[in-house]
Structure formats: structure tokens, C-alpha cells
Amino acid sequence: MAQAAPRHITQPPPLQRAIGLFATDGRPHHRVDTLLAITVALGTLAFVTCFFDGLHLLASWSGLVSVVTGLWGQMISATTRERFFLLTGLTLGALGFYIGMSAGGLFGGVLG
């Protein structure tokens, strides 16, 4: 007759405390966190600068980079927290990009 396995083998390890909002897997995500910080910072910059007449170049370029990094981060994100903040930065960047494009575009009359 087979004996039962020792108690320490049958019990799962205790869950690690999740740090942050909905970061439930307990593992660090350095690459996505870096993309998240870049996306939110550039998205906020694009959104704020798109309302000033002379800063459409800064708004459109920072918005474009924010959209690209935000989409890349969305593809490799693993938790809800990452996706939420990436989407927030992505939205701010897209709005800044579109308004910056309507005010003069990526080159602002420098080329053509």
C-alpha cells in the first residue's frame, strides 16, 4: 500500500503578495514597466503640448512614439494593471498626436 506524500510537498507554496493594482502573477515585468513609463510620460507630454500653437511638432512626435510604445507594450503585457495604464498613456498619446497633426503635422512645413 502506498504511503501519502509528506505534507510540505502536497501543499502549494503560499501566494506572494501582489505589488500594485491587479499585478496578480507575482513576477516582475521590467520591460513592460519601462514601456509603460515611456508611454504614459510621452502621452501626457503630447496631450499637454497639443493645445499650444507653437508646440505641434513636439506634440505630434511624442504622440507618435507614445502610440508605438503603447501598442508594443499591449502586445507583451501580462497583467491588468499594465494594460490599464498602457491604454491610458496610449489614449493620451493618440489624442496629442491627432491634434498635433491637425495643427501642422510631423514636419510642420519644414519639408514641403
Per-residue pLDDT tens over the stretch 38-71: 999 999 999 999 999 889 999 999 999 999 999 9
In whole angstroms, give the CA distance from residue 29 to residue 89.
Answer: 18
**pLDDT, position 73:** 95
Cell output for 36: 509603460
**pLDDT, position 4:** 65
Cell output for 43: 502621452
7 within a domain of the structure (yes/no): no
15 within a domain of the structure (yes/no): no
Number of domains in the chain: 1
Structural domain containing residue 53: 28-103
In whole angstroms, give the CA distance from residue 9 to residue 82.
Answer: 33
Per-residue pLDDT tens over the stretch 9-39: 555 555 545 455 555 677 888 899 999 999 9
**One-letter amino acid identity for 77?**
S
Cell output for 86: 498602457
Mean pLDDT, residues 85-112 taken together: 89
90 within a domain of the structure (yes/no): yes
Closest of 100, 8, 104, 95 to residue 44, by C-alpha: 95
Cell output for 22: 491587479
87 within a domain of the structure (yes/no): yes
**pTM for the structure as a whole:** 0.76
Contact 86, 39 (CB under 8 A): yes
**pLDDT, position 44:** 97
62 within a domain of the structure (yes/no): yes
Range of weakest confidence among 6-15, 69-78, 83-92 = 6-15
16 within a domain of the structure (yes/no): no
Cell output for 109: 512645413
84 within a domain of the structure (yes/no): yes
99 within a domain of the structure (yes/no): yes
